[in-house]
Amino acid sequence: MEQGMKLWEQTLDALRQELDETDFSVLFSEANKIYKVEDNFIYIIVPNALTKFRIEKFYINKLNEIASSLSGSLVKLKFILKDEIEELEKPLNTGAEDVNKRPLRAEYTFNNFVTGESNRFAFLSAMKVAETPEALYNPLYIFGDVGLGKTHLMMAIGNYVLDNRPETNVVYTSAQEFAEDYFLATSTRKGKENIEQFYRKYRDAEVLLVDDIQFLENKPSTQEEFFKVFEHLHGINKQIVITSDRSANELKNMMARLKSRFNWGLSVDIKIPDKPLRLNILKRKLSFLIENPKDVPVEILEIIADHFTNNIRDLEGALRRYVTYCVSLNIPFTMENLYVALERLIPESEEEKNISGKIFENIKREVAAYYKISVADLESPSRKQVFTYARQMAIYIIKKHYNPSLKLIGEFFGNRDHATVSHSFDKIKNLLRTNSLVKNDYDILMKKIKK
Ligand code: ADP
Ligand code: MG
* CATH number for the domain that contains residue 229: 3.40.50.300
Task: Report the alpha-carbon angle 416-363-338, nearest 5.
Answer: 115
Which residue among 237, 269, 301 closes a domain?
269
Alpha-carbon span 140 to 240, nearest angstrom: 6
Q: Mark whether 236 and 349 lie in a shared domain.
A: no
> Given a cut of 60, is residue 321 above it in pLDDT?
yes
97 found inside a domain: no
Task: Name the residue of 142, 148, 150, 272 whose CB sits within 8 Å of the most ligand 1 atoms, as the mutation to test its pocket.
Answer: 148
- Under DSSP, is residue 108 helix (H, G, I), strand (E, B) or coil? coil
Which residue among 226, 253, 269 closes a domain?
269
Q: What is the pLDDT of residues 228-258, one digit of tens each?
A: 999 999 999 999 999 999 999 999 999 999 9
Residue closest via CA to ligand 1's atom 9 equals 149
- Percent of the chain at pLDDT exceeding 90: 58
Containing structural domain, residue 239: 120-269
All residues at 6 or more sequence positions from 54 whose CB lies less than 8 Å from its CB, including other chains:
27, 324, 327, 328
Q: What is the pLDDT of residues 24-82, one digit of tens each?
A: 777 887 766 788 888 778 888 888 777 887 788 778 888 888 888 888 777 888 888 87
377 found inside a domain: yes
Given this model, what pLDDT does residue 355 score? 67
- Percent of the chain at pLDDT exceeding 70: 92
Q: How far is the CA of 63 from the centre of ligand 1 (A)?
A: 30
Q: How far is the CA of 283 from the centre of ligand 2 (A)?
A: 22
Taking the C-alpha atoms of 7, 8, 9 and 14 in order, what is their torsion angle to the nearest 10 degrees?
90
Q: Mark whether 165 and 285 lie in a shared domain.
A: no
Which residue among 227, 254, 269 closes a domain?
269
Residue closest via CA to ligand 1's atom 16 equals 152
DSSP string of 298-361?
Answer: HHHHHHHHHH--S-HHHHHHHHHHHHHHHHHHT----HHHHHHHHTTTS-TTHHHHHHHHHHHH
